[in-house]
Each structure stands twice: as structure tokens, then as C-alpha cells.
């Protein structure tokens, strides 16, 4: 995702610590307290400019959403979106998703969304893919037993790799959709990348997987 320097980003982060939570690791195991209710918590990794998480938060007011985004100039755009919508069921973390088990306790999370994650097509970069087995091990730890991973992408290579990775890890695939937009799905909330690629006529892939 394109990043532009935003001179107001540091001020926004400092002024909105109730929304973009600093020192996120200190809240491990306490995220329900942070939201002030016992609703399930869903996490989006690489939430970009926040269109998906803001849309999901509106569609599911009884779910709490946490968006993880590494890029400062991008997370502040997501933060502005959530702030303007007045949503209180979204928190954002400006951290690297590599350390998920330091952010969340065992069984603390009910669903994980991987939307248009960087495909890292070179073989030597496979371990950076968010569906590499080291990530799956972390997802397994933080997800409740009925919890699911929902992955959307336009990238056939990443999709195929992820299906194989889920299967090799012994996960159950509960959905494999090779053209998400071929049928109307009023529940589907589009991401920025999804809008861009589907407008070009590219098929969007989606799968859902659970640890058995
Ligand atoms: N999910 C959005 C969408 O579908 O429009 C953005 C997709 S963009 C290709 C991937 C995003 O993931 C970027 O904003 C990038 O900064 C973020 N990202 C990549 N690796 C990350 C990591 N290890 N931790 C947190 N965010 C990451």
C-alpha cells in the first residue's frame, strides 16, 4: 500500500491513544476490559486504511474489532475513519503482527481476517507470508476452539499457498471461493484493495479455515 509522509500522523497518534492503543502488549489478556464488555474479539492483520474494519464494526455492533497495521501513515487514516464514524467497538494497534502471542492471550480471539496480505512471491520470502506455519501456530494459540481465519486475496499464488499451508497444518477448510463476486453477498464488506482489483475484473478469492 502506498505510503505518503503525513506530518499530522504523530499528533494524531498522541491525541487518540484511546483508539490507536500505545504499549499494546501490556493489554495482553485484558482486551475485553479495554472494550468494556464481553463481546467476542475479531482481529484484522494489515488493516490498511480501515475500510473493512470500519464497515464490519458498523455491520456487527456486538463484536469488538482490533486492527493491526504496521505503517504509521496508513493507520492514522484508519483511525480518522473510525473516529469520524464514532465507533466504540474498534481499537487499532500500530505494531508488527509478527508478535501476536505477545499481544493476545490463549483463546482471547474469535476470528482473524487476512485481507489482501502481501503475497511475498519469492520462495526465499515464504516465511514472511501471513499463512506460513509459524504464523498459523500463533493463530492457533490465540484463537478460541471454534474460531476461524478468513482470508481474501486477488493473488492466486498466495491463495493456493495458503490452502496448502492450512491443510498441511491439519486445519479444516469450511469455505473455498474462487470468485467471491460472482454472486451477491450482502454480508461481504469490501476492503480498499478488493474494490480496486474487482473493479479491474480480477476474481477475488476467499477461504475460511478452522483448527480442528
Ligand atoms: N487489508 C487492506 C486492504 O485489503 O485494502 C490493505 C492491504 S495492503 C496490501 C497490506 C497491509 O498490511 C499494508 O497496509 C501493510 O502496511 C500491512 N502489513 C504488512 N505486513 C504487516 C505486519 N507484519 N504487521 C502489520 N501490518 C502489516
Closest CA to 72 of 151, 7, 145: 7
The three cell numbers locating residue 94 = 500500530
Give the pLDDT confidence score for residue 5 in this predicted structure: 75
Residue ID of nearest Cα to ligand 1 atom 27: 46
What's the CA-to-centroid distance between 189 and ligand 1, angstroms?
Answer: 17
What mean pLDDT is reported for the chain?
Answer: 96
pLDDT at residue 3, as a whole number? 65
Confidence (pTM): 0.97
Residue 142: per-residue pLDDT: 98
What is the β-pairing status of strands 143-153 and 109-115?
Answer: parallel
Per-residue model confidence (pLDDT) at position 175? 98
pLDDT tens for 65-99 read 999 999 999 999 999 999 999 999 999 999 999 98
Residues with CB under 6 A from ligand 1: 1, 45-48, 68-71, 74, 96-98, 115-116, 118, 191-194
The per-residue pLDDT for range 140-176, each reduced to its tens digit, is: 999 999 999 999 999 999 999 999 999 999 999 999 9
Handedness of CA 141, 38, 78, 76 (dihedral sign): negative
Q: Within 10 Å of residue 118's Cβ, how many Cβ atoms?
A: 13
**How many angstroms does the Cα of residue 69 sit away from the middle of ligand 1?**
6
| C-beta separation of 205 from 170 below 8 A | no
pLDDT number for residue 7: 82
Catalytic, out of 10, 15, 99, 118 = 118
Domain ranges of the chain: 40-211
Q: Is 179 a catalytic residue?
A: no
CATH number 3.40.50.150 is the correct assignment for the domain at 40-211:
yes
- Mean pLDDT of the region 129-149: 97
Amino acid at each position: 500500500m502506498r505510503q505518503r509522509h503525513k506530518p499530522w500522523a504523530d499528533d494524531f497518534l498522541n491525541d487518540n491513544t484511546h483508539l490507536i492503543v500505545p504499549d499494546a502488549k501490556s493489554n495482553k489478556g485484558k482486551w475485553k476490559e479495554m472494550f468494556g464488555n464481553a463481546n467476542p474479539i475479531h482481529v484484522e492483520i494489515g488493516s490498511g486504511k480501515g475500510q473493512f474494519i470500519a464497515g464490519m464494526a458498523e455491520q456487527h455492533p456486538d463484536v469488538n474489532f482490533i486492527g493491526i497495521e504496521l505503517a504509521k501513515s496508513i493507520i492514522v487514516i484508519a483511525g480518522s475513519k473510525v473516529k469520524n464514524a464514532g465507533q466504540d467497538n474498534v481499537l487499532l494497534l500500530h505494531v508488527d503482527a509478527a508478535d501476536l502471542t505477545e499481544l493476545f492471550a490463549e483463546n482471547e480471539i474469535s476470528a482473524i481476517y487476512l485481507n489482501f496480505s502481501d503475497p511475498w512471491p519469492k520462495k526465499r520470502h515464504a516465511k514472511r507470508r501471513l499463512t506460513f506455519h509459524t504464523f498459523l501456530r500463533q493463530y492457533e494459540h490465540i484463537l478460541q476452539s471454534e474460531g476461524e481465519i478468513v482470508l481474501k486475496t486477488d493473488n492466486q499464488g498466495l491463495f493456493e499457498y495458503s490452502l496448502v499451508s492450512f491443510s498441511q497444518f491439519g486445519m479444516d477448510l469450511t469455505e473455498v471461493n474462487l470468485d467471491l463476486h460472482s454472486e451477491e453477498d450482502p454480508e461481504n464488506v469490501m476492503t480498499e484493495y478488493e474494490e480496486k482489483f474487482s473493479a479491474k475484473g480480477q476474481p477475488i478469492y476467499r477461504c475460511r479455515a478452522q483448527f480442528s
